[in-house]
Chains A and B, each alone.
Chain A
Amino acid sequence: MLKMRVIPCLDVKDGRTVKGVNFVNLVDAGDPVEQATLYDEAGADELCFLDITASHENRDTLYDVVAKTASVCFMPLTVGGGVRRIEDIRKLLLAGADKVSINTAAVKEPAFVRQAAEKFGAQCITVSIDAKQVAPERYEIFTHGGRNPTGIDAVAFARQVAELGAGELLVTSMDRDGTKQGYNIPLTRAIADAVRVPVIASGGVGTLDHLVEGIRDGHATAVLAASIFHFGEFTIGQAKAHMAKAGLPMRQ
């Protein structure tokens, strides 16, 4: 039976992780490769790097981080942030990423998703959907870290990119991100029920119960979290044990 996935996400800037990761045995708190290795050993099901490097010149540091990580971690790695051109995807995949997550470029030009999926295969194209609730049961896509509204309905957009060839959707609730109040379940479920591709719930995890809700109530098949793991509040093992106890199929 297929197991539900737990995916820690690391924010990387200029080749270094920015949100402090609080592992007991961490030597260099800013080294994404070392953190990836520890998550690998802890039994994470996949790993996600989100590149938040502002300047274009420093983007190359990311390829180096991805290549180094892929040399030591034999687990699936998704890389997102600033992926705008086919060439960006090619470079990330060649460096060792397994999946690339596309956000703004997919919103600006949905045909880019088709182009990417045709070129590299749907299995490595994740579309990242950042949405905010704008009315009861209405969710709108926002870009640029939640600052720019687009007027695009998130559920319709999810359907569209899934048809264009996205192999997976990463659904982040911008209202919940960083609040620790839990995933936006109605948003996650509305999208998960509208498409057949796998959905990753993201944004707002504060407790282990939130992870359970993302799957049980949000109909996602994977949960992404950052701070609850980084700051050592919970380990990957604790998260999986809790989810298994709630009746979810987990790899432990």
Chain B
Amino acid sequence: MQVAIVDYGAGNLRSAEKALAAAAKDSARVIVTADPDAVRKADRIVLPGVGAFAACKHGLDSLPGMVEALEEAVLKQGKPFLGICVGMQLMASVGVEFGTHKGLDWIKGKVVVLDPADKSLRIPQMGWNDLKLAHVGHRALAATRNGDHAYFVHSFHFVADRSQDVLATVEYGGPVTAIIGRDNLLGVQFHPEKSQQVGLTLLASFLKWNP
């Protein structure tokens, strides 16, 4: 099995690569690539991302043929897809960060600034928060437990149009989307590659997932 991590210049991909390789335990070959053909040929696709929504979308759009390759592999062929942090946010219809920018529009919703009413809550949300699973038994989250802690760093969050697309939330002055998904799509706001055993467990489930 080949796993492609899409390299569009958005930060450090080494951690994601290492964590996926550790979770795969030799059952998958993990490649970091900016080549649309390699993305088309992969069995599973991971879209990471750090920084601002617009900068990440611009980076992705700047790779000729990459968005088309992603749409073909993920939407048409139904290959399992995982978006991480801003990679997850890019799955939204629009992002409202330094202006309004179109996302991939794979899961209906908006990415908006995190602004909890409780002003004692810091922005960015930085640290470990416990997951509240909305759908117990989702197969991509087979080994993820209610109350598992994952590591978050973000100032914007995904507000989904349809509640059934929200697979898990965390509490941060109200519910904040932690995991979104539908069909063969999965997106996590936190960093599984930085979430110790909880993260590795989720990545292992993703690698075994046959939607």
Contact = CB atoms under 8 A, between A and B. Distances in A.
Interface of A: 1-5, 40, 45, 67, 70-71, 74-76, 93-98, 120-124, 167-168, 196-199, 221-222, 251
B124 A74 contact: no
20 contacts: A1-B129, A1-B170, A45-B127, A74-B15, A76-B194, A96-B18, A98-B15, A120-B51, A122-B155, A123-B153, A196-B119, A196-B122, A197-B122, A197-B124, A198-B124, A199-B122, A221-B126, A222-B127, A251-B128, A251-B130
A94 B52 contact: no
Nearest to B22: A74
A167 B126 contact: yes
B199 interface: yes
Interface string B120-160: 01111111111000000000000000000101111100000
Contact of B124 (A75, A97, A98, A122): A122
Given A2-B172, A74-B194, A74-B196, A123 B124 contact: yes
Contacts of B170: 1-2
B6 to A, nearest CB: 17
A71 B12 CA distance: 13
A75 B196 contact: yes
A45 B198 CA distance: 13
Given A98-B194, A221-B122, A123 B50 contact: yes
A74 B126 CA distance: 16
Nearest to B149: A251
By size class, the interface of chain B is 35 or more
A75 B126 CA distance: 13
Interface of B, helix, strand, loop or mixed by DSSP:
mixed
Interface of B: 11-12, 14-15, 18-19, 22, 50-52, 119, 121-130, 149, 151-155, 170-172, 191, 193-196, 199-200
Of B126, B129, B130, B153, most buried by chain A (CB within 10 Å of CB) is: B126
Given A67-B14, A97-B12, A123-B50, 19 more contacts: A2-B152, A4-B127, A5-B127, A74-B15, A74-B193, A74-B196, A96-B12, A120-B11, A121-B11, A123-B155, A124-B11, A167-B126, A167-B153, A168-B124, A196-B123, A197-B122, A198-B122, A198-B127, A251-B128
A71 B123 contact: no
A71 B129 contact: no
5 cross-chain pairs, A with B, having the tightest CB-CB distances, nearest first:
A121-B51, A198-B122, A123-B153, A251-B128, A3-B128
B128 A2 contact: yes
A76 B191 CA distance: 9
A55 B61 CA distance: 42
B205 to A, nearest CB: 15
Nearest to B23: A74
Contacts of A1: 129-130, 170-172
A124 to B, nearest CB: 7
Given A40-B196, A197-B122, A5 B11 contact: no
